[in-house]
Amino acid sequence: MQLKGKTVLITGGASGIGKIMVRLSLKRKASIIIWDINQTGIDKTIAEFANLGKITGYKVDVSDSKQIEETAKKVKQEIGFVDVIINNAGIIVGKYFHEHSSAEIAKTMHINANAPMFITKEFLSEMLDKNTGHICNISSSGGLISNPKMSVYVASKWSLIGWSDSLRLEMKLLKKNINVTTIMPYYINTGMFDGVKSSKIKILEPEATSLTIIKAIEKNKKMITIPGYLYRFVKIGQAIMSINFFDWFAGTALGIYKTMDNFTGRKK
């Protein structure tokens, strides 16, 4: 899909890779709609990139399905058809499962797993009517492999992968020209995962990761991990190794199960 002339909705678009994808999409002559909970961040992003093209922002808490519904109505009334949705907004609370509050569990699932479904549902009918569109869901490599101190985050991202690729198959079955891309990146150096230590697999840089995602949309990719070998590593490893051996390999040899030991997360 060429982004030139298209309207692209990016959730979490006022910071991190969301903000970078806003810039990259504007440079490709797309019109951008930012959804973010941070009004100050929205205003700063619009001011910074206004010279690159058409950009609009809406403050919305995507953990609230009512706000999603109301804001989607505004978008349709004020802007019109949305060609591309990038479900990027996400949160993590890094702690052992028994340390989570019920509120933390609910909010993580609402934002990471439920919001992409509710947002897509609001715009999918129009895409089906026009027989065109692209939905890109930013999941995580955590949706492929279990990890201590990430249990709720992992649950949300496993859910997102399952829904996202099922939606892709539904569009294929219905013979609709609506593409679905599922992205599964490793840790990204945006502040969201501050404190994470990864010695064997390199932590990703935001600029390169954002460009990979935008190119995946342009090339109508179905499912990609960043780095690319992660999907094959996990799937093949889990297929041929016993659980105990895979635990040793991922946990001890690669150190994945220790990456969250010093997690602090983004400072508020």
Active site residues: 153
Tokens of 132: 């065109």
CA atoms within 13 A on the CB side of 78: 11
Determine the length of the chain: 268
Q: Are 110 and 160 in contact (CB under 8 A)?
A: no
What are the start-end ranges of the H helices in 83-226? 102-109, 115-130, 151-173, 206-218
Please tell me whether the peptide bond between 227 and the residue prior to it is cis, using omega within 30 degrees of 0: yes
Strand 84-87: give its sheet, edge to edge: 55-59, 31-36, 7-11, 84-87, 133-138, 178-185, 223-226
Q: How far is CA 78 from CA 17, 19, 49, 75, in A?
A: 26, 22, 20, 5
User: Using CB atoms within 10 A of its CB, is residue 68 exposed (0-12), middle (13-18) or buried (19+)?
Assistant: buried
188 secondary structure, DSSP code: B
- CA dist 255 and 139 (Å) reads 21
Residues contacting 70, CB < 8 A, separation 6+: none
Residues contacting 263, CB < 8 A, separation 6+: 94, 149, 193, 194, 195, 196
